[in-house]
Amino acid sequence: MSAVPASSFLKGGSAGAFLRHAAFIALILLLCMPLICGCTGGGPAGSEGSGSTAPEQTEAPAGPMPEDDTDYIISEGGSPFRVAVREKANADEKTCAESIVAGLKKEFGIEVELVSGAGEDSVPEIVVGLYAWARANDIYDNAAVGGWTVCRRGAKLLVFAGDRASYASAPNQLIRYVARMSEGDTVRLSKMFYGTEPVGNISLRIPLPEGLCATYIQHAGGSDASKRAASVNYAGVNEAAYDAYLARLASSSYVKGFENSIDGNRYAFFTGATRLLSVDYFPSLRLMRIVSEQLPSKPVWELSGGERKYPVRMILIGRSSAFIVTLADGRYLLYDTGYNTAPQMIMDYMTSNNVFTDGKVHIAAVIISHPHDDHMNGLLDLADNYSGSIVCETVMYNIVSSDRQSDVSDTTLSKHQTSINNAAKKLGASVYCLRAGQRFVLSGTEFEVLFTPDELGDYYLSGDSTWTDLNNSSVLVSMTESGQTTLFTGDCRGGEANMVASMFPRGLKADMMEVAHHGYNVADTLRLYTDARPYVLFWPVSKAEVDVSRYFVQELMAASYVKKHIWQEDLLEVTLPYNP
């Protein structure tokens, strides 16, 4: 069919035309529903818009709404319209735009013009690429993260994606949402395709930095499987641009809650009416990252504790990774909880050292480094079998998104997360998703979050098994008591260890350190230890079982800076500060 002149793009059809085709529209929407579920990338994003403050609640799309709000008319009578890309469009954006043009011609016979540079706001066109349009920063209240999306802004449709594969798939999927009406050659795009609440998404509302182009947009870990966060990442950023963005947030509806610096890396946390923004800057990478999540009832940096009455002690316990820290007020902190065979030993230790008169052991926090059985199952067993004997305040973790690794499905990761959350609920504990740079002090003992799966960025975990992948997503936490620092590493190894090294080029310093992955580690991980130079090493493996053929083990065993090796079977309780 050849294109013929007609009225306009994204214009409402007459009520009569709508009634004549209502049944056909309903059929199209029904057919589109499975596609919507399949192509949305996950957590949505949002924005207060450039230089302005916006309400926290979800808003309707800006611009005039068509008379028929069931769907939007792309072309009436086969009229031509434009597809635009930015003047300096990258290859992925150009290919996507060209494919949209070709697809509309092939499927509907509609001739559209491909132009460089978007027109004024009133010009009807499909704009490809997040920064092709001057007002693109204003679209995030409808954006799908981790894949590709289409957002309506007035007379324009914006098509953008977070990676090459998503850009490649966008045109064909877009065409699948376009329906040709039987009368008048009217072509419509289903409203459900880019509605304000796409299936599986939440509002993220991220005020974007002015003049910066996002490098990639991804899922981020969240405190609930159904309420994930998302991160927007910017490369090539200098410190002045970072400071300018912090100043913009401070002058908006956001309030600075906490700021921190670790080895030159900077971390700032802002709270809005419903959102918590984590804004990080890594000078060695010239990288700025914004993570938006649902605001917790109490920010993690506001956690505290009781009076310092007792010595702070630590012990590695169980036939797996399980560290128990006895805080100065008598409460406990657990970093990992071992297999489900460990809780009996954990409970025996905590009960025998309990100082509370209510007959219950009091746990300030449980930190799960990553969702492997030998790190999280102990928590599940404690909740199932000992909840009546425990007062637990918080459970903390950050589980990697399926966007960042190859083997574990989103369903499996969500199942792990649900198991942890259910355990927390049984124990009456609040749940926190940890972010790098967070610091909290429990009865005078300081804890800092150094690395989470968020910091993997666009690094794709592609190990030889699910075991390898999830190990590479461990949460690293430091504890400082009386000037002595202990570094908990989970199963950090290989790729993650290299990411840590790149973000902390001067090395993470520690006096005592957990040997990650029970000693079954690779040479790339060794740098964490040679830079830290700990004089005490805790091995979550028995001395008889450690694989002495591994180069990693040989180097640590021979390290001159290590004064004391503490093995799993030692059950050695150390009082901090500890000097072997």
For residue 425, the model assigns a pLDDT of: 97
For residue 408, the model assigns a pLDDT of: 74
pLDDT at 54 over 60: no
Task: Output phi, psi for 220, to 5 deg.
Answer: -130, 160
pLDDT at 229 over 50: yes
pTM for the model: 0.72
505: alpha, beta or left? (left if phi > 0; alpha if psi -120 to 50): alpha
Beta strands in 317-417 (DSSP E): 322-326, 332-337, 361-367, 390-392, 394-397
Number of residues that this document lists for the chain:
580
Which sequence spans correspond to the domains of the chain? Answer: 15-194, 216-294, 300-571
- Identify any residues that bridge with 433 across adjacent strands, giving them in sequence order: 397
Cβ burial of 507 (10 Å; 0-12, 13-18, 19+) is middle
Split at pLDDT 50, 70, 90, the class of 44 is very low
Interhelix angle for 373-386 vs 343-352, to 10°? 60
Q: Helix/strand/coil (H, E, C) string of 359-380?
A: CCEEEEEEECCCCCHHHHHHHH
Q: Which among 439, 207, 140, 488 has a CA at the least distance from the CA of 335?
A: 488
> Which CATH fold topology does 15-194 show?
Chitobiase; domain 2 (3.30.379)
pLDDT at 356 over 90: yes
**Higher pLDDT among residues 55 and 363, named by residue:** 363
- Average pLDDT for 205-223: 71
Beta-carbon contacts of residue 243 (< 8 Å; ≥ 6 apart): none
**Higher pLDDT among residues 77 and 363, named by residue:** 363
**Higher pLDDT among residues 46 and 233, named by residue:** 233
**Higher pLDDT among residues 5 and 378, named by residue:** 378
Q: Helix/strand/coil (H, E, C) string of 17-48?
A: HHHHHHHHHHHHHHHHHHHHHHHCCCCEECCC
Give per-residue pLDDT as tens, 87-112.
888 888 899 999 999 988 888 777 88
Which CATH code fits 300-571?
A: 3.60.15.10
Mean pLDDT score of the chain: 78
- Report helix, strand or coil for 501: helix
| Type of residue found at 66 | P
- Average pLDDT for 419-433: 96
Give per-residue pLDDT as tens, 59-77.
223 333 233 333 455 566 5
Q: How far apart are CA 191 and CA 176, in angstroms?
A: 13
b/e 311-335 (16+ beta carbons within 10 angstroms → b): ebbbbbbbbbbbbbbbbbbbbbbbb
- Average pLDDT for 350-378: 95
Alpha-carbon Rg for the chain, nearest whole angstrom, is 27
Give per-residue pLDDT as tens, 501-540.
999 999 999 999 999 999 999 888 999 999 999 999 999 9
Q: How far apart are CA 439 and CA 575, in angstroms?
A: 22
Contact 342, 322 (CB under 8 A): yes
